[in-house]
């Protein structure tokens, strides 16, 4: 028969061993359980991207990387007047901005001088050009002043910083093309972007362009809108100016088919 004191010691030792074994087992189970927190974060980020809620910390600051504004210009000589009043002055047409001693000049993509930027709108653009920003200009609308028999126009200017990455640059250029199409449908959208909107543009690869429409500006006295919409005829002219004969022929063929279908419908139902 064991001494009571020895029995007490053995019992206490057994309890300690049992406690240590339990703690070791629970610790091992806890270590074997994988940490799923990163998966929840990843899935949440994917969900946010699907709904256009991009992580603000993932993208560059909008105010330091992008600017959008409208700017007016006057035609330069007969070349500029002919451009704005003729077939080439299509809404959405791309123009090139160039800095000179006389101010900011506007050229066609093939290098013809057609306009001078109005002084009140040239300050910001001059600064951005000096800092090597990339500036895309699209014709937004044209005006005509009957008393002076003169034309003027307004550009939509999209500017982004030279340090923007190639991936984001492609997204912004896609956004600019989409906005140019939107402007061509006789709308006057806001060009500047909040940080949230900027994130959405980059996150969608430029496919998001749902900025709010702004009220059309009050026109100077005696001025009327000469052109602020890209018509179907303008689209055909644009194709012809780009020299894509196949697309032009196909467009004219489609037009003739539609006209023939209308004539046939009138003859069939009403004659």
Tally Cβ neighbours within 10 Å of residue 240: 15
SS3 155: strand
Longest dimension (CA), the chain: 127
pTM for this model (two decimals): 0.68
Burial class (CB in 10 A: 0-12, 13-18, 19+), 202: buried
Dist. CA 160–CA 230, nearest whole Å: 26
3-state secondary structure of 186: coil
The CB density around residue 170, as the number of other CB atoms within 10 Å, is 14
Rg (Cα) of the chain, in Å, rounded?
33
Per-residue pLDDT of the chain (271 residues; tens, 9 = 90+): 444 443 333 444 444 444 454 454 444 444 444 443 323 333 333 333 333 344 555 789 999 999 999 999 999 999 999 999 998 899 999 999 998 887 899 999 999 999 999 877 888 999 999 999 999 999 999 999 988 889 999 999 999 999 999 999 999 999 999 999 999 999 999 999 999 999 999 999 999 998 999 999 998 888 999 999 988 676 665 555 555 555 445 444 555 555 666 665 666 666 6
């Amino acid at each position: 028969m064991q001494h009571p004191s020895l029995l007490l010691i053995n019992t206490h030792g057994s309890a300690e061993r049992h406690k240590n074994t339990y703690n070791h087992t629970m610790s091992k189970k806890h270590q074997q359980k994988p940490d799923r927190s990163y998966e929840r974060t990843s899935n949440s980020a994917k969900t946010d991207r699907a709904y256009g809620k991009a992580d603000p910390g993932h993208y560059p600051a909008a105010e330091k990387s992008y600017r959008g504004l409208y700017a007016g210009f006057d035609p330069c000589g007969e070349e500029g007047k002919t451009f704005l009043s003729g077939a080439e002055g299509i809404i959405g047409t791309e123009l090139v901005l160039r800095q000179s001693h006389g101010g900011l000049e506007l050229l066609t993509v093939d290098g013809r001088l057609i306009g001078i930027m109005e002084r009140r709108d040239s300050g910001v653009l001059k600064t951005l050009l000096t800092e090597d920003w990339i500036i895309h200009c699209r014709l937004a609308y044209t005006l005509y002043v009957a008393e002076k028999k003169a034309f003027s126009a307004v550009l939509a200017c999209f500017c982004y910083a030279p340090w923007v990455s190639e991936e984001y640059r492609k997204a912004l250029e896609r956004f600019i093309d989409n906005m140019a199409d939107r402007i061509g449908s006789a709308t006057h959208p806001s060009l500047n972007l909040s940080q949230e909107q900027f994130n959405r543009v980059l996150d969608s690869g430029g496919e998001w362009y749902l900025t709010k429409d702004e009220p059309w500006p009050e026109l100077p006295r005696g001025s009327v809108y000469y052109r602020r919409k890209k018509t179907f005829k303008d689209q055909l002219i644009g194709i012809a100016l780009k020299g894509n004969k196949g697309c032009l022929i196909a467009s004219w063929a489609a037009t003739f088919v539609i006209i023939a279908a209308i004539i046939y419908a009138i003859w069939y139902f009403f004659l």
